[in-house]
Amino acid sequence: MVEQEEKKEEGLEQDSSGKDQAEAEAEDVSVQLAKALERNRELEDKLLRMAAEQDNFKKRMQRERETALKYAEETILRELLPSLDNLERAVGQCQCSPDAGALLAGVEMTSKGLLNTLEKFGVKPLAGEGQPFDPNFHEAVAMEASADVPENLILQEYQKGYMFKDRLIRAAKVVVSKGNVEE
């Protein structure tokens, strides 16, 4: 009987040590679970941030692509402007010579045709003589006194300025009035 009681006590000791061990394992599992849940939250947050960055990147690239397409022709059109300048100079020379009427008519038609073509693609000349000077659109190459033209108005235009859609592609080179200096 004594042996049976000793065996029961050993069994109880084993049971209590088994319970302690099970509790320790359960506590260890709950700590691991808490760490895993925290890591999961961090990864979800990181995933959401990366998705937002990806979306912003796509939108920015789309805006840049639209801008690049809108102004893709700008370089070509800028290269055409000196030809237009030469035609306008030829028209000016022909107007001084009375025997060049046919040449003048042909050059004027060519100049108007080229200007119309440029306007179809969004190139428009800036207003020149008699307009107020605006440093955003005009480049002052000289200032002259004038009794007839008020101060800060354009007296003469050396080279026309042009806009492409809503962007300045070349500023006009102008002479600006100082007004009547004698006053």
For residue range 32-46, what is the model confidence (pLDDT) as tens digits? Answer: 999 999 999 999 999
Residues in a beta bridge with 100: none
Indicate if the pLDDT at residue 100 is higher than 80: no
**Residue 163 sits in the same domain as residue 182:** yes
**Residue 97 sits in the same domain as residue 139:** no
Whole-angstrom distance, CA of residue 45 vs CA of residue 105: 73
Mean pLDDT value across residues 73-102: 77
Mean pLDDT value across residues 148-175: 89
Domain count, the chain: 3
Of the two residues 55 and 26, the one the predictor is more confident about is 55
**Residue 1 sits in the same domain as residue 66:** yes
pLDDT, residue 7, reads: 56
Domain limits at 77?
A: 73-121
**Residue 91 sits in the same domain as residue 129:** no
**Residue 46 sits in the same domain as residue 8:** yes
**Residue 41 sits in the same domain as residue 52:** yes
Highest mean pLDDT among 17-26, 114-123, 135-144: 135-144
pTM given for the model: 0.55
**Residue 18 sits in the same domain as residue 42:** yes
Least confidently predicted of 24-33, 82-91, 131-140:
82-91
**Residue 166 sits in the same domain as residue 155:** yes
Indicate if the pLDDT at residue 9 is higher than 60: no
Sign of CA dihedral 150, 151, 156, 160: negative
Mean pLDDT value across residues 144-148: 82
